[in-house]
Amino acid sequence: MSCIDRFSLSGKTALITGAAGYLGSAMAKALAEAGAHVIINVRSSARGEPLLREIHAQGGSAELLVLDVSDQQAVQEYFAHGGPETLHVLVNNAYKGKGGTIESSDAGDYIDSYQVAVLAAHNMLKGALPALRRAVRESGDASVINVGSMYGVVSPDPRVYDTPAGTNPPFYGATKAALIQWSRYAACEFGAEGIRVNSISPGPFPSDSVQQDAPAFVAKLAAKVPMGRIGQAGEVAGPVLFLASAAASFVNGANICVDGGWTAW
């Protein structure tokens, strides 16, 4: 297999949760461009249809999956009845939350955050195991990629944020740290059978609307990055494609920070 072929996802199936968001849509499009058939998970068809049309317009292969990934029974039913028979790549990207501080947060914020990220990743991996194992038997490899955050590694600088409500919240960081650690557990449990589990931790990737509406805030973020700028959505695609492909066949249990060096200071 040539070096270029090792990065190809041609003939493979990938499922990405939380696919309609800023980074999720970039990852979904990249997986399709690499040749994968992409299952786009969203909570409502209205959120996912524009992305589905865009992938199809670019010649990619994709389908929509409307599913609450924090609902264990619904996930189990999906994989038992109608889910992919073979799944080569699973990207756990789903998250739902808001801003806040420790003082302004309550127990429900932590529970909601944990359910939509960590418990959902658990539900998806457990439900997908037969399909992931079939991928290993057929092609020798399956990859699970969990999307953490730089704030699962370091704390946000409160001086960057203008209000408590606009601050990156503690339940977000705690949840992402848990997801990164859970990824290591999964890597150790399933690595021997050829299912690799890794995480990526994106850094400052403010959405297009934030970039347009809050340039002063974006400038503060950029000032904290050794590279002197924020990340653009497409820049998360390379690490995801690497981990999804055979090029990362001996990468297991890693957490790749995609943050321009934010966590390296």
* CATH label of the domain that carries residue 95: 3.40.50.720
Number of domains in the chain: 1
Is there a contact between 222 and 167 (Cβ–Cβ < 8 Å)?
no
Q: Is residue 208 part of a domain?
A: yes
Q: Which of 97, 87, 102, 109 is CA-nearest to residue 14?
A: 87
List of residues 6+ apart from 4 with CB closer than 8 A? none
E strands, 10-87, are 13-16, 37-42, 61-66
CA 89 to chain centre: 11
Q: Is residue 136 part of a domain?
A: yes
pLDDT of amino acid 184: 98
Is there a contact between 91 and 132 (Cβ–Cβ < 8 Å)?
no
Residues 65-83: pLDDT tens digits? Answer: 999 999 999 999 999 998 9
List of residues 6+ apart from 49 with CB closer than 8 A? 64
* Strand ranges of the sheet holding 61-66, from the earlier edge strand across to the other edge: 61-66, 37-42, 13-16, 89-92, 142-147, 195-202, 255-258
Q: Is residue 263 part of a domain?
A: no
pLDDT of amino acid 5: 79
Q: How many CB atoms lie within 10 A of CB 264?
A: 9
Residues 198-235: pLDDT tens digits? Answer: 999 999 999 999 999 999 999 999 999 999 999 999 99
E strands, the chain, are 13-16, 37-42, 61-66, 89-92, 142-147, 195-202, 255-258
Q: Which residues of the chain have pLDDT under 70?
A: 1-4
Distance in angstroms between the alpha carbons of the first and the last residue of the chain: 39
Q: How far apart are CA 61 and CA 162, in angstroms?
A: 42
List of residues 6+ apart from 31 with CB closer than 8 A? 9, 14, 16, 38, 89, 91, 240, 241, 244
Q: What is the helix (H) or strand (E) element at residue 10, kind and residue range? A: none
pLDDT of amino acid 97: 78
Q: Is residue 264 part of a domain?
A: no
Q: How many CB atoms lie within 10 A of CB 31?
A: 30
Q: Is residue 265 part of a domain?
A: no
Which residues are marked as active site?
Answer: 161
CA 192 to chain centre: 23
Q: Which domain range does residue 135 map to? A: 3-257
Q: Is residue 9 part of a domain?
A: yes
Write out the two tokens for 186.
């999964």
Secondary structure (3-state) at 128: helix
pLDDT of amino acid 6: 87
Q: Is residue 262 part of a domain?
A: no
pLDDT of amino acid 114: 96
Query: For the whole model, what pTM was predicted?
Result: 0.96
